[in-house]
Structure 1
């Protein structure tokens, strides 16, 4: 059966990085490329993120909540998800700022992020989102669903 065994056989994702800390963005880009994915762009502001989202139609966006133009990552996530059907993962040190409706995002990676956390997040978004897959008990990546959203947000602070 095609594509059924891990990320190595999965189709590479087209990924947008929305992060205003340039070194973090470059490190994440390198990690994602090492995993076989295509980083279509890096944006430090909400306007640039939306322009890249429209231009490249990425499959996935890693979005920091606090960007160069303020606390605009939540709006970026909501617009990318609603207007362009982009899967969004937040990357933040403060998960409590994420609204209860998750702003269209599928999960959060705690900062400072780890390679393992990014790999878990990629595995989650490329798999059939089995909520019993064992990811919800880890602190590096937390998928959003009705139960784990409330239980894990206090652990990430």
Structure 2
């Protein structure tokens, strides 16, 4: 799976990159602002993305998320303030709250892998992943 990381904090981006790599996935790129993220989405066509809400150019992660959703690319927000996520989750599968543990991130990534692979009957999401209401609705339909 080709994964995009949209995160303006270099250390957190490196940690995410390390975990994604250790799980056997490819990095489509790392972006610290909306412009770079959109460029990577268009050129690298990731299969999945981790998106922070607050980027170098402000709270533009939500706009990046909507851009991903329009292209049917699943993603999760990774944020220190989940209250900033719109009620519709801007099309996100869910969210991981910062600070997260490496174990929590691994569990969330494992869940995401099955989702991206098309397994909608997968087990309940791990506690580290707050799932969007739309996902719950689709799963129970």
Q: Normalising by the residue count of structure 2, what TM-score does the alignment of the two structures yield? A: 0.86
In structure 2, list runs of 5 or more residues that go unmatched.
Answer: 137-141
Per the alignment, in what secondary structure is the counterpart of residue 69 of structure 1?
Answer: coil
Residues 1:134 and 2:124 are matched in the alignment: yes
1:17 corresponds in structure 2 to: 5
CA distance in 2, matches of 1:89, 1:143: 9
- Distance of 2:31 and 2:91 partners within structure 1: 19
Q: 1:92 aligns with which of 53, 56, 79?
A: 79
2:95 is the counterpart of 1:104: no
The DSSP-based 3-state class of the residue aligned with 1:26 is: helix
**Are the equivalent residues in 1 in contact too, given 2:19–2:106 (CA < 8 A)?**
no
1:74 to 55, 62, 65: 62
Residue pair 2:93, 2:135 contacting (<8 A) in 1 also: no
| Secondary structure at the counterpart of residue 31 of structure 1 | helix
Unaligned runs of 5+ in 1: 1-12, 149-157
Normalised TM-score (structure 1): 0.78
1:37 pairs with one of 17, 25, 39: 25
Partner of 2:131: 143
- Secondary structure of 1:76's partner? helix
1:57 and 2:38 correspond: no
Root mean square deviation of aligned Cα: 1.9
Q: What is the deviation of 1:47? A: 0.5
Q: Tell whether the 8 Å contact from 2:3 to 2:26 is kept in structure 1 after alignment.
A: yes
Inter-partner Cα distance in structure 2 for 1:77 and 1:16? 12
Aligned positions, number: 133
